[in-house]
Structure 1
Amino acid sequence: MTQELARRIAITIGALLIFRLGCYIPLGGISTRTGVLSSISASRVSIFALSIVPYLTAAIIIQLVSVVWGRLSALERSGEAGRRRIIRYTLILALLLAAFQAFGVASALQGIRGFVVEPGNWFLASATATMVGGVFFLVWLSEQITRHGVGNGLALILSVAIVISFPADVATGFELLRQGAVSSNLVLFNTVLWIALVAVMVLVETARRNVPVQYAARQVGKRLLAARSSALSIKLNNAGFLIPTIVAPWILYLPLAAASFLFGQTPWLAAAGAHIRFGQPVHVILGSIAVFILIFIYTARVLDPEQAAETLQEQGGVVEGITPGEATADHLDRIASLTTVVGAVYLVAVSLIPEGLLAIGIALPYKIGGGSVLIVVCTILDLKKQVRDRSLTNRGGERI
């Protein structure tokens, strides 16, 4: 291991320890003498109570807007200045979302009898400002990990928040098994299911559809680049996880919320709400369709066959057996569409497995979301890749 890699690993571990330490620092004004604090998770009333969720939500909203608004999409592709403006817009939206959520949390805490030492406007203002500051501190901390550490900072912070609850879930499962509340067969089924699911995730996330490409010899400045063979690598899952699975519930619940606002609580709205609750067959079906469609929409944005064909032609690249230009774009579009179908089926299955089991009457001893596991798996794979790449890059450096 080189000194540079060891330094980056140390920075990453240190930043994550700071994040975990902040999760146990309570908000100012919280009473510790009432005994109420012991019944609430420390992270829920800490300075990092909102984690990085407001920033991630803002980033997702900006990306969705860029899909339907050409000016924002063009700004994102216009270079460094455009990307900085996109980041600025994301931070402003994150500030608004964090302030709204923080005020709601502070108001809820103040409503608990005896929980706040001195309820009032001062507590609301200070608690809101503290939680908003916590969000932006974590955004800054994640940037330090990405720049000076190893891995993607946002993904690592999100994954640590998920992994930290895993031992408690396992302990809960064993306790329920000891008490006879669940059967050993159910626990065994649950264990085998998630081991198999993790194996499938690793297989799919590392799988690539390679399109052979031939590059002709060409002159670049004073350099003559020789003819070479390469491959255009296409992931099975180009849409990731967060955007399809986070936006899908919006599609289901926002129309219902708007109808409730316009027409009030009517019997047919109550019936519709009952049918689209988590675990209901209608929710599983509609949720699957929504995720499937969103995967295609987002993949079309991140993987543009026409742009890829144009780039290949500019660089003197030719897909084997395909005429450059429109024919190449059509060929890449067919490959991308078939690949996206496989990735969409996989992602729908991953995101809806716990809900699907609940819909058919299989109640697991504790709840683990397929999306949470996928986030952790992808983060670990990315971390492994970055460590390997940095080790190879610095192979000639000083080792420790």
Structure 2
Amino acid sequence: MSRELARRIAFTIGALLLFRIGTQIPVAGVNTSDLPPTSDLIGRLSLFALGLIPYLTAAILVRLLLVVWRRLIALERSGERGRRKVARATLGLTLVLAAFQAFGIATALTTVPGFVRNPDGWFVLTATATMVGGVFVLVWLSEQITRYGIGNGLALILSVGMLVSLPRDVADIMELVRSGAVPGSLVLGHAVFWVVTVAVMVLVEGARRNIRVEFAPLSVGTRQLPVRDAMLPIKLNSAGFLIPVTVAPWLFFLPLALAGFLLGGDHSLVAAAYRHLQLGQPAHLILISIAVFVLAFVYTAYVADPEYTAKSLAQRDGTIPGVAPGEATADYLDRVVSLTTVVGAVYLTLLQLIPEVFELYGIGLPYSMIVNGGAALVVVCTALDIKTQVRDVSLTNPGGVRR
């Protein structure tokens, strides 16, 4: 192991330990003396009680604006200055969302008898400031891991937050099997299912549709570089998981919330709609599948923008063999991306449906609503990213030259 790799691994472990320590320090003024040290409630009322959820929500909303607002897309693609403006806008929106959520939690805590030592306005103010500050500390910590450690800091913190409860979930399931509440065959079936699912994730996330690109001869001083070949990789799953799956429920729950506001929550149509759109209901399963499938195409069109890619190739004197530059290249890339995205969209939809199918057929286990397809995908992609970075750092000399 090289010294640089050891340093990066040590930095990452130290940063993640700081994250775990912060989840065990409760907000000042909350009475947790009667709670056991391993209680989940301590983590929910800690310095990092909000986790990265406000930041992720803000990032998703900004990404949605990038998809539909051309001027914002141009700003992001204008260079480092434009990207910094988008990043600042994301942090500003994070502040608003985190403050709103933290204030709601702090206010609710004051209504629980005996849970807050001094349930006054000062507690609400300090608790809100503490939880909001915790969000920005986590955002900063994730950036430091990405810059000086190994892997993507944001994904690592999310993965550790998911994996830390896994041993307890396994112990609880084993206890249910021992007591006869859950059949051992069901647990074995889940184990086999997840082994196969993780193997499929590794296969799909590493799959690429490579398009050969030729670059024209280039003059560098007195040297003449010949025609160069390169590969333009297109991922099967270019849309990721968070945006399609997070936004999909908004497409029918926001109109439903508006209908409830206009007609009243007790209206028969609104009540029936809410009842049929609960997790595990056939209507919810069908609608969420359609929404995730469509959103995978919409977001992929932004991530792998064929027109932008064709324009970039033309600016660098790059062509796809047998395809004319310009509009013909954009059309060709659009066809390839669309066909590739069909596989990715089906893959995302099936991952999203895992907990729903378990719930619909009554074959879920206590972890099923937490360790779902999305959580598993985040962990798998984080592990693959770490593997790639470890290999790159190991094969790179201190001067930045590949061995």
Asked if Structure 1 and Structure 2 have the same fold, meaning a TM-score greater than 0.5 normalized by the shorter chain, the answer is yes
* Residue number in structure 2 paired with 1:133: 133
* Residue number in structure 2 paired with 1:390: 393
Which is further off, 250-259 or 49-58? 250-259
3-state secondary structure, aligned to 1:41: helix
Q: Which amino acid aligns with 2:104?
A: G
Q: Note if contact 1:249-1:287 (Cα within 8 Å) is conserved in structure 2.
A: yes
Matches within 5 A, 1:1-400: 1-35=1-35, 40-220=40-220, 223-265=223-265, 266-367=267-368, 368-394=371-397
Q: Which amino acid aligns with 1:140?
A: W
Which is further off, 340-349 or 222-231? 222-231
Q: Which amino acid aligns with 1:243?
A: I
Which is further off, 364-373 or 344-353? 364-373
Q: Note if contact 1:187-1:365 (Cα within 8 Å) is conserved in structure 2.
A: no
3-state secondary structure, aligned to 1:209: strand
Q: Note if contact 1:172-1:366 (Cα within 8 Å) is conserved in structure 2.
A: no
Which structure 1 segments of 5+ residues have no match? none
Shift in Å at residue 196 of structure 1? 0.4
Shift in Å at residue 293 of structure 1? 1.1
Aligned length in residues: 397
The Cα offsets for residues 274-326 of structure 1, whole Å up to 9 and x where unpaired, read as 00001111111100111111111111011111222222223222212222222
The Cα offsets for residues 232-255 of structure 1, whole Å up to 9 and x where unpaired, read as 110000001111111111112111
Q: Note if contact 2:249-2:288 (Cα within 8 Å) is conserved in structure 1.
A: yes
3-state secondary structure, aligned to 2:150: coil
Which structure 2 segments of 5+ residues have no match? none
Q: CA RMSD in A?
A: 1.7
Distance 1:218 1:39 in 2: 64
Shift in Å at residue 173 of structure 1? 1.2
Shift in Å at residue 363 of structure 1? 2.8
Shift in Å at residue 36 of structure 1? 8.6
Q: Which amino acid aligns with 1:93?
A: L
Q: Note if contact 1:217-1:227 (Cα within 8 Å) is conserved in structure 2.
A: yes
Q: Which amino acid aligns with 2:304?
A: L
3-state secondary structure, aligned to 1:394: coil
Q: Which amino acid aligns with 2:389?
A: Q
3-state secondary structure, aligned to 2:232: strand
CA 1:154–1:319: 2 relative to 1, 3 Å: same
CA 1:33–1:332: 2 relative to 1, 3 Å: closer
The Cα offsets for residues 352-380 of structure 1, whole Å up to 9 and x where unpaired, read as 11212322332334312110000010011
Q: Which amino acid aligns with 1:310?
A: K
Q: Displaced runs of 4+ in structure 1, greater than 3 A?
A: 32-40, 220-223
The Cα offsets for residues 115-147 of structure 1, whole Å up to 9 and x where unpaired, read as 111111111111000000000011111111111
Q: What TM-score results when the alignment is normalised by the length of structure 1?
A: 0.95
3-state secondary structure, aligned to 1:277: coil
Distance 1:7 1:267 in 2: 62
Distance 1:298 1:46 in 2: 35
The Cα offsets for residues 163-195 of structure 1, whole Å up to 9 and x where unpaired, read as 111111111111111111111111111111111
3-state secondary structure, aligned to 1:72: helix
3-state secondary structure, aligned to 1:134: helix
Identity %: 60
Q: Which amino acid aligns with 1:283?
A: H
Q: Which amino acid aligns with 2:229?
A: S
Shift in Å at residue 385 of structure 1? 0.6
